Amino acid sequence: MTYKNLDFQTEGRMGFVRMNRPDAMNALNTETFHELIHVLDRLERDDAADVVIVTGEGKAFVAGADIVEMKDMDGQQSRAFSRLGQYVFRRMETMDIIFIAAVNGYALGGGCEFAMACDLRIASEKAKFGQPEVNLGVTPGFAGTQRLPRLIGKARAMELLVTGEVIDAHAALAYGLVNRITEPEDLMDEAKSLAAKIIAKGPVSVRMVKACVNRGMQADIDTGGAFESDAFGLCFASGETRTGMSAFLEKREPDFRRS
């Protein structure tokens, strides 16, 4: 399905979101966020995919929030815009879907925040990351100050945030901001192969692992452990565990899609 600012399609249990506003480096405006909400609604309503790959058309993944739209906002409007972006990204983080950012180029400001809201990040050799908001006289607004330190540690995050420095894919890998790097022409194949690997696993256990990690990151170890035990029980109760364990004992590959 083609929206004004992005394309969305599914292929088997994979979904693909391609940010498609290359003249503006795929910058995120209010309209784009509403289109993303529409995509997330469809994904949930139709149970359309287990893994969704997000990428960008042209030179950028996403070069930030739309500076043209933001320039004349007042305090109230900018706060509302910040809340809208935070809502979309938090929703992705809490959905029963694994999001993979296939970062093809610039992931700056809101674009870096978008990539961080995904569960996994693959960077092309051409990718660049940064939170350059201080150059514009503003803080990040889509929870970059919250996700970046959680992902790469406070010291590195603080430096990137207060200097606005832009880093390349290799630095991002060394910082733990991305999972791996590929040649630009291999980016989508690499993302698809990672997606296929995840789709072959037990869907209930994959969903539960995402929830356990994300909830546990916000909780003390006892609360996180208790949630994990519940998730563990839920996997057994779903029947998925029997499928996986029987296949192991019978020395064959499990077929979770039939359980």
Q: Which of 132, 202, 244, 254 touches ligand CO8 by CB under 6 A?
A: 132
Residue 152, token pair as written in the block = 């790469």
Q: Which of 6, 17, 19, 25 touches ligand CO8 by CB under 6 A?
A: 25
- Per-residue mark of binding to ligand CO8, 206-245 (x: CB under 6 A): ----------------------------------------
Going by DSSP bridges, is the β-strand pair 6-11/14-19 parallel, antiparallel, or unpaired?
A: antiparallel
Neighbours of 214 (CB within 10 A): 14
Marked catalytic residue, from 113, 190, 228, 240: 113
Cα–Cα distance between 130 and 65 in angstroms, integer? Answer: 13
Which of 59, 215 has the CB closer to ligand CO8? 59
DSSP bridge partners of 130: 108, 166
**Does position 122 bind ligand CO8 by CB under 6 A?**
no
Where on the phi/psi map is residue 166: left (φ > 0), alpha (ψ -120 to 50), or beta?
Answer: beta
**Does position 82 bind ligand CO8 by CB under 6 A?**
yes
Touching ligand CO8, residues 87-106 (CB under 6 A): 106
Cα–Cα distance between 66 and 29 in angstroms, integer? Answer: 5
Q: Which of 15, 56, 109, 202 touches ligand CO8 by CB under 6 A?
A: 109
Marked catalytic residue, from 35, 133, 190, 228: 133
Cα–Cα distance between 241 and 76 in angstroms, integer? Answer: 50
Cβ partners under 8 Å of residue 38, min gap 6: 3
Q: Which of 13, 20, 39, 66 touches ligand CO8 by CB under 6 A?
A: 66
Residue 258, token pair as written in the block = 């039939």
Q: Which of 6, 24, 39, 152 touches ligand CO8 by CB under 6 A?
A: 24
- To the query of whether residue 133 is one of the catalytic residues in this protein, the response is yes
Nearest distance from C-beta of residue 71 to ligand CO8, angstroms: 9
Angle at 42 between CA 36 and CA 48, to 5 degrees: 115
Contact positions toward ligand CO8, by CB under 6 A?
A: 24-25, 27, 59-60, 63-68, 70, 78, 81-82, 85, 106, 108-110, 132-133, 136, 140-142
